[in-house]
């Protein structure tokens, strides 16, 4: 609760300074206006239209500064909420929209891909860290999300060592045009980190992945 209260009071120094300066200028303007009105020539009264316009302008600027403060507070709340979401992923097995994953050499890896409509042919390939293809098979051409489990063996049935691998799925339509598709790979969330662009990333197998790329999260059940 303390963290939320602290965040709700966030106001940038620039906004605070602008509002303070505006308030001071506005007070001075009102004092000057009052003095002028008190000492105006009754036979030649000053035009009040300009004073009214200036009052309106001061009020609009003041409201804009207050609106900016409120927007900053909303952004702070959003950042806090996104961070809480990221923290909830730590220690969980996840499926992320990505192509690189870690295979432990024992249980293989489950992954998936979204096949678009109109695919006439396609392949699923897995390459190692050196770019060598260790597994290749025909892709499921039906439109939609397709899941499969790689057993961690190459095309000759030989188990490959634990390490980082890349899932590559390609598809062509009847005119041999390439189709765009998305791949989903497994991972384990080790932590979170804020990116240079202000977005939150989760650390999956040592790599930074946007938290918005997480599609599924599960907790490993203890052995019975």
Report the CATH number at residue 97: 2.60.40.4070
Looking at the structure, tell me whether residues 161 and 196 fall in a common domain: yes
pLDDT at 24: 65
Residues of the domain holding 106: 93-218
Looking at the structure, tell me whether residues 82 and 102 fall in a common domain: no
Report CA-CA distances (Å) from 140 to 113, 114, 119, 121, 147: 10, 10, 9, 9, 9
Q: Is residue 195 part of a domain?
A: yes
pLDDT at 105: 80
Which of 199, 115, 123, 122 is CA-nearest to residue 155? 123
10, 69 contact by CB (below 8 A): no
Looking at the structure, tell me whether residues 74 and 143 fall in a common domain: no
Looking at the structure, tell me whether residues 11 and 114 fall in a common domain: no
pLDDT at 165: 95
Looking at the structure, tell me whether residues 178 and 114 fall in a common domain: yes
Q: Is residue 223 part of a domain?
A: no
Looking at the structure, tell me whether residues 193 and 153 fall in a common domain: yes
Looking at the structure, tell me whether residues 82 and 97 fall in a common domain: no
Domain boundary at 60, 89, 118, which?
89
Domain boundary at 63, 89, 115, which?
89
Looking at the structure, tell me whether residues 80 and 108 fall in a common domain: no
pLDDT at 212: 86
Structural domains of the chain, count: 2
pLDDT at 106: 81
pLDDT at 126: 96
pLDDT at 3: 36
- Beta strand residue intervals within the chain, DSSP E: 93-97, 100-103, 109-115, 121-127, 133-138, 144-150, 163-172, 182-194, 200-204, 207-210, 214-218
Q: Is residue 224 part of a domain?
A: no
Q: Is residue 156 part of a domain?
A: yes
Written as tens digits, the pLDDT of the chain (224 aa) is 333 333 334 445 555 555 566 556 666 666 766 776 677 666 566 666 766 676 666 667 667 666 766 666 665 555 556 667 778 888 899 999 999 999 988 888 999 999 999 999 999 999 999 999 999 999 999 999 999 999 999 888 899 999 999 999 999 999 999 999 999 999 999 988 876 666 788 899 888 888 888 888 888 654 44
Strand order in the sheet with 133-138: 100-103, 163-172, 121-127, 133-138
pLDDT at 179: 94
| Rounded Cα distance, 185 and 110, in Å | 7
Domain boundary at 61, 89, 117, which?
89
Q: Is residue 65 part of a domain?
A: yes
pLDDT at 216: 85
pLDDT at 5: 38
User: Which DSSP symbol is given to 132?
Assistant: -
């Amino acid at each position: 609760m303390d963290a939320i209260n602290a965040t709700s009071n966030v106001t940038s120094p620039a906004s605070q300074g602008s509002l303070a300066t505006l308030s001071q200028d506005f007070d001075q303007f009102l004092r000057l206006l009052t003095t002028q009105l008190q000492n105006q020539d009754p036979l030649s009264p000053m035009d009040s239209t300009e004073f009214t316009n200036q009052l309106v302008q001061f009020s609009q600027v003041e409201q804009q500064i207050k609106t900016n403060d409120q927007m900053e507070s909303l952004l702070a709340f959003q950042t806090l909420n996104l961070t809480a979401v990221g923290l909830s992923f730590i220690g969980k097995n996840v499926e992320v929209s990505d192509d690189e994953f870690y295979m432990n050499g024992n249980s293989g890896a489950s992954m998936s891909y979204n096949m678009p409509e109109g695919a006439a042919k396609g392949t699923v390939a897995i390459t190692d860290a050196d770019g060598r293809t260790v597994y290749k098979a025909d892709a499921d051409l039906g439109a939609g999300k397709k899941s499969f489990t790689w057993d961690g063996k190459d095309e000759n049935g030989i188990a490959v060592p634990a390490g980082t691998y890349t899932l590559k799925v390609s598809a062509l339509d009847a005119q041999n045009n390439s189709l765009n598709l998305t791949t989903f790979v497994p991972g384990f969330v080790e932590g979170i980190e804020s990116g240079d662009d202000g977005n939150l990333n989760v650390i999956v197998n040592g790599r930074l992945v946007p938290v918005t790329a997480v599609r599924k999260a599960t907790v490993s059940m203890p052995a019975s």
